[in-house]
């Protein structure tokens, strides 16, 4: 199978291992499916190997059909081991608090899976941890979404205890008839057809101490090496990933931290001039990427419908609702109110 225009974003082979184990249990039919999707056994055997993200997502869907297990993603997420997520998973579960663990995943996700974003938001008494593949053309992707939400929940229960549960779980896909199984695992309310996949939970949970942070001394002594390995992977990312890295930083900082050229460059470990030149070489600029990210987030927040103009303006780093309204009209030729009232 070929996925034109969708090959740039990639995912580490270790993420595929649970899926390939399912296919292995189906003998020749499973191996034929791997061949159909162009999966190279040598690449899959190397945890640092990678395959196109679009192929991984499509293979996950096909594996669920072959196995006759419509909740395959949920099951594999429930059974997840941190090492499946590579160094990122190991480092995350050994953070002192849940907040630091989720921030760790957010920071290092690009070393594991491209074209994807994780975002932690804090609103009054609740926190939201969202996961989404950026390219809307990669669809359907229900198995990946349910796997990812279940995996994050599984890791959280490892850190805070098996009694932990979110308040709600949101999915971007529609109800596939598996709501009962999903509710049985998450032990929370479900919402389908949302703008992104996310866990909604008590904000106070973010500061809870993680049981897994009290690892045995040998394990704790290894963590600095794991962190250094992740930093090396970040620096060694292909040049074409720079735009994605900048977009990820902008996404996380908008409305919360400074988004100047100096601030973004510092976070990426580059000088301002180097970052500016590198983006220009790729036919873009920080200003263009900032506008694009604001436009994307604005469209998503308006679609969700629960934020007013003032809140959206604050979320996107504008001084007030008027500034946001003028910018939105420039982007789209219509007001945010008109867009909100348009049929979905």
pTM beyond 0.85: the answer is: no
Mean pLDDT of 2-29: 84
Domains, the chain: 10-69 (no CATH), 82-212 (no CATH), 288-341 (1.10.10.60)
* Tokens representing residue 327 in the block: 């910018």
Which residue has better confidence, 58 or 47?
Answer: 58
Residue 326 CB neighbour total at 10 angstroms:
12
* Tokens representing residue 191 in the block: 């919402």
pLDDT at 339: 60
Query: 168-172, 214-218, 281-285: lowest mean pLDDT where?
Result: 214-218
pLDDT of 140 above 90: yes
197-202 and 189-191 beta bridge pairing: unpaired
* 133, 196 contact by CB (below 8 A): no
Cα 209 from chain centroid (whole Å): 23
Q: In whole angstroms, what is the distance from residue 21 CA to residue 288 CA?
A: 43
* 59, 39 contact by CB (below 8 A): yes
Mean pLDDT of 21-45: 91
Average pLDDT, the chain: 87
Q: In whole angstroms, what is the distance from residue 22 CA to residue 202 CA?
A: 35
Mean pLDDT of 184-193: 98
Q: How confident is the model at residue 4 (pLDDT cuts 50, 70, 90)?
A: very low
pLDDT at 341: 58
Query: 8-12, 197-201, 330-334: lowest mean pLDDT where?
Result: 330-334
**Residue from 162, 160, 175, 169 nearest 188 by CA:** 169
Cα atoms in the 13 Å half-sphere on the side-chain side of 100: 14
Which residue has better confidence, 64 or 302?
Answer: 64
């Amino acid at each position: 199978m070929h996925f034109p225009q969708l090959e740039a974003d990639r995912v580490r082979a270790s993420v595929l291992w649970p899926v390939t184990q399912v296919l292995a249990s189906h003998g020749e039919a499973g191996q034929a499916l791997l061949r159909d999707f162009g999966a190279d056994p040598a690449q899959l055997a190397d945890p640092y190997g990678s395959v196109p993200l679009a192929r991984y997502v499509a293979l996950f869907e096909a594996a669920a059909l072959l196995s006759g297990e419509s909740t395959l993603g949920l099951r594999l997420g429930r059974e997840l081991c941190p090492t499946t997520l590579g160094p990122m998973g190991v480092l995350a579960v050994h953070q002192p608090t849940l907040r630091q663990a989720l921030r760790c995943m957010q920071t290092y996700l690009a070393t594991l899976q491209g074209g994807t974003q994780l975002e932690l938001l804090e609103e009054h008494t609740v926190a939201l941890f969202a996961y989404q593949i950026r390219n809307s053309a990669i669809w359907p992707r229900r198995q990946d979404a349910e796997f990812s939400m279940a995996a994050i929940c599984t890791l959280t229960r490892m850190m805070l205890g098996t009694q932990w549960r979110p308040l709600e779980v949101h999915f971007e896909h529609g109800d596939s008839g598996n709501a009962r199984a999903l509710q049985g695992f998450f032990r929370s309310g479900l919402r389908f057809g949302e703008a992104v996949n996310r866990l909604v939970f008590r904000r106070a949970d973010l500061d809870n101490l993680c049981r897994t942070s009290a690892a045995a001394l040998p394990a704790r002594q290894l963590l600095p090496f794991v962190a250094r390995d992740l930093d090396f992977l970040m620096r060694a990312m292909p040049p074409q990933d720079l735009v994605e890295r900048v977009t990820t930083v902008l996404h996380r900082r908008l409305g919360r931290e400074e988004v100047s050229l100096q601030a973004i460059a510092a976070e990426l470990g580059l000088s301002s001039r180097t970052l500016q030149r590198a983006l220009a070489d790729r036919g873009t600029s920080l200003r263009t990427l900032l506008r694009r990210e604001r436009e994307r987030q604005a469209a998503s927040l308006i679609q969700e419908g629960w934020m007013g103009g003032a809140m959206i303006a604050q979320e996107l780093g504008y001084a007030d609702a008027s500034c946001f309204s003028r910018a939105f009209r420039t982007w789209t030729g219509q007001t945010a109110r008109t867009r909100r009232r348009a049929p979905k």
